Structure 1
Amino acid sequence: MIKVGLLGYGKAGQAVAEVLKTDERLGLAWVARAHVRDPDERVPGTDIPVVGLDQVSMEDMLDAYPVDALVDFSTPEAVMGYGEALRSRGITLVSAISAYSDEQLAYVQSLGADTKVLASPNMTIGINFLILAARLLRQIAPFADVEILEQHFRDKPEVSGTARKIAESLSLEDERITSLRLGGIVGHHEVIFGFPYQTVRITHESIKREAFGTGAAFALSQLSACEKGFYTFDDLLMRNVREQLKMVAAA
């Protein structure tokens, strides 16, 4: 069993905790957040503590309650505070931060020299498979027109980081992204390929934030079989694709 600590307990973090605490491959040991009002706060329905980093440092947390991996759903700045503690202890990092600066991302990548690190701006399996499939079709049909549509809840102000990631992976400018803000949509991403006589749409719909937890659990289980290094979700998916191709070839 992989012992896991979770950093960040907003809406996404709470949904992730619900998934991690029930996955038989994992043991959610604790949740850390910036502040807690109740020092006895627990993840609902469990004895898993929710601790405030205004009361205890991450380094002290890792000493008092050792874990094999840390899942980060907090802020881009957080890694600069806990990174060396993970490095020195060889603790795996799964980061779902979508807005690292170039300097912060370079630092996260550097941790891969001493431990296992995965960073992905979107932690859902589906969206990362969408990116993989869209890249493949883009290579097969570079002549096709390509547009990206993203839809999110009414109050989301910025263009989706995931949509920007999709555009980057397809060598498209951000101007090819159309954004809609409607009601309480959790997340909708669509890549549209326009051919002369047909249209292909690759779509991903986030129904509940628990999808982030499923992705984090997948990443943790996959990384357990990997060597030290920095990985993307693409790396983990391609690892599975290669294994499937080997099985097909051997059949």
Structure 2
Amino acid sequence: MSQIKIVIAGPRGNMGKEAVKMVEKVTDFELLAVVDSRNNGKMVRDLEGLPPLEVPVYEQMEECLQKHQPDVLIDLTNPKFGRKHMEAAFKFGVSPVVGTTGFTDQDLLELDAIAKSQKIGAIIAPNFAIGAILMMKFAQTAAKYMPDVEIIERHHDRKLDAPSGTAIKTAQLISEVREKKNQGHPEEREELAGARGADYEGMKIHSVRQPGLVAHQEVVFGSVGQTLTIRHDSINRESFMPGIELAVRAVKNIESLVYGLEHLMD
């Protein structure tokens, strides 16, 4: 079995720490290096909360990719660096697997064009939890029959974006099978601005940010005399690792940008 050679960006974050542990455990994965915003020249063993690995730390993505020539870059940083890291990966023929949200539609179009022109696979996933992907798929099915829907997403209070990428992706999938529909009383008014949440083609999206949470979402459907709630909870960040492993294995078999893990699941 040939080894899949990997570089991880963002190893000190909560997701990054779990990804380092996952790559170390999977027998045909090999961690070559990590890219961090500081700690250049150190080893992974020197970083708090990480396994005692003799794996080098770099601050500059291009330097790292040039020296180690991995097959896959796992990027778990933030929107500020996500696109730059993807462009660097394309430059060196490396397939990026990205867990950063906040990309614009224009970003996705431009990154997809680069991937196709170079025939390099890339995956951006708003959520790597397999259960969350199933939640989105089930919600899309339900929306065909119950078009009145609201989304409530709850995340830890360190999350930068609202609504979450998962909530937006859920709304986009639902919109593929649901006609635009204004919900609630036609003359309703907000006594406090934002009380009804964000609006996506008539669907309302509500964001909660609290310490103690990880990642949680429920999609609530209403109809005459009944409601249906589809809910997913990530109790810890280890829940995202099977999805990252799936993406790493799949990315070398595609030649374009795939946005959303659901496209890799039958």
Query: Which bracket does the TM-score occupy, shorter chain normalised?
Result: 0.7 to 0.9
Please say if 1:63 is aligned against 2:69.
no
Closer/same/farther in 2, CA of residues 32 and 202 from structure 1, 3 Å limit? same
Closer/same/farther in 2, CA of residues 81 and 135 from structure 1, 3 Å limit? same
Residues of 2 paired with 1:203 and 1:79: CA distance? 29
Please say if 1:117 is aligned against 2:122.
yes
Q: Partner of 2:132 in structure 1?
A: 127
Q: Which amino acid aligns with 2:141?
A: L
Please say if 1:73 is aligned against 2:83.
no
The one of 228, 234, 242 equivalent to 2:255 is 228
What is the 5 A alignment of 1:166-177? 166-171=170-175, 173-174=199-200, 176-177=204-205
Residues of 1 paired with 2:141 and 2:213: CA distance? 28
Please say if 1:211 is aligned against 2:247.
no
The one of 88, 94, 104 equivalent to 2:97 is 94
Q: Partner of 2:166 in structure 1?
A: 162
- SS of equivalent residue, structure 1 residue 112: helix
Residues of 2 paired with 1:99 and 1:149: CA distance? 19
Q: What TM-score do you get using the length of structure 1 for normalisation?
A: 0.81
CA contact (8 A) 1:31 1:49 kept: yes
Structure 1 ranges of 4+ moved more than 4 A: 154-157
Residues of 1 paired with 2:21 and 2:238: CA distance? 7
CA contact (8 A) 1:152 1:180 kept: yes
Closer/same/farther in 2, CA of residues 65 and 169 from structure 1, 3 Å limit? same
Residues of 1 paired with 2:40 and 2:32: CA distance? 20
Residues of 1 paired with 2:169 and 2:254: CA distance? 26
Residues of 1 paired with 2:215 and 2:83: CA distance? 29
Closer/same/farther in 2, CA of residues 83 and 182 from structure 1, 3 Å limit? closer
The one of 201, 214, 220 equivalent to 1:186 is 214
Q: Which amino acid aligns with 2:174?
A: L
Q: Give the CA RMSD over aligned residues.
A: 2.4
Runs of at least 5 residues in structure 1 that lack an aligned partner in the other structure: 242-251
CA contact (8 A) 1:20 1:213 kept: no
- SS of equivalent residue, structure 2 residue 152: strand
CA contact (8 A) 2:33 2:64 kept: no
Q: Partner of 2:9 in structure 1?
A: 7
What is the Cα deviation at residue 5 of structure 1? 0.7
Moved more, 143-152 or 110-119: 143-152
Q: Which amino acid aligns with 1:21?
A: E
CA displacement 1:124-148 (0-9 Å, x = unmatched) = 2221221122112212x1x442111
CA contact (8 A) 2:139 2:230 kept: yes
What is the 5 A alignment of 1:34-49? 34-36=37-39, 39-42=42-45, 44-49=50-55
Q: Partner of 1:245 in structure 2?
A: none
- SS of equivalent residue, structure 2 residue 35: strand
CA displacement 1:24-80 (0-9 Å, x = unmatched) = 232222211111177244263342425131xxx322211221210001111223244
Residues of 2 paired with 1:182 and 1:90: CA distance? 40
Closer/same/farther in 2, CA of residues 40 and 120 from structure 1, 3 Å limit? closer
- SS of equivalent residue, structure 2 residue 149: strand
Closer/same/farther in 2, CA of residues 58 and 163 from structure 1, 3 Å limit? same
Closer/same/farther in 2, CA of residues 190 and 29 from structure 1, 3 Å limit? same
CA displacement 1:146-191 (0-9 Å, x = unmatched) = 1111122345463323222222322373461223334411011011
Q: What TM-score do you get using the length of structure 2 for normalisation?
A: 0.77
Residues of 2 paired with 1:64 and 1:38: CA distance? 13
What is the Cα deviation at residue 112 of structure 1? 2.1
